[in-house]
């Protein structure tokens, strides 16, 4: 079973700050997922990436497959970015099966 670790668990920052959330996993994979969960439970997929870097608006995700490490960055953070960010990797390694999740990073952006 893949083990996924995230840091930090909690992060409070001021509006406009650059945010970094880190994720490491134990079993080699072909793709890693970053998800966002708002209060009330809804989970939204942000990124699925297998190499290099992806960018959506102010969000950037990077992955280093050899080091089994990924980062999620938020540029020019805004209070609406406040949410729990979760990293997830395939449960058994590889890519095409259920996910195992990190415990999440609870992000609060203060105005």
Partner 1 sequence: DTGVSQDPRHKITKRGQNVTFRCDPISEHNRLYWYRQTLGQGPEFLTYFQNEAQLEKSRLLSDRFSAERPKGSFSTLEIQRTEQGDSAMYLCASSLRGRGSSYNEQFFGPGTRLTVL
Binding site for partner 1 (CB under 8 A): 1, 4, 30-31, 33, 35, 41-45, 48, 50, 86, 88, 90-92, 94-104
Q: How far is the CB of 63 from partner 1 (least distance, A)?
A: 12
CA distance 107 to 87: 14
CB burial class (10 A; 0-12, 13-18, 19+) of residue 9?
exposed
Cβ nearer to partner 1, comparing 50 with 110 = 50
Judged by beta carbon, residue 17 or residue 101, the one nearer partner 1 is 101
Structural contact between residues 6 and 102, judged by C-beta atoms closer than 8 angstroms: yes
Q: 42 vs 111, which CB is nearer to partner 1?
A: 42
């Amino acid at each position: 079973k893949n083990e996924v670790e995230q840091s930090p668990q909690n992060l409070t920052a001021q509006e406009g700050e650059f945010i970094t959330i880190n994720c490491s996993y134990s079993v080699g994979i072909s793709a890693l997922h970053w998800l966002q969960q708002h209060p009330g439970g809804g989970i939204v997929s942000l990124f699925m990436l297998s190499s290099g870097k992806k960018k959506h608006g102010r969000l950037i995700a990077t992955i280093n497959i050899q080091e089994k490490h990924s980062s999620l960055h938020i540029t020019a953070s805004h209070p609406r970015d406040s949410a729990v960010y979760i990293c997830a990797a395939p449960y058994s390694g590889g890519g095409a099966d259920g996910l195992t999740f990190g415990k999440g990073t609870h992000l609060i952006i203060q105005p």
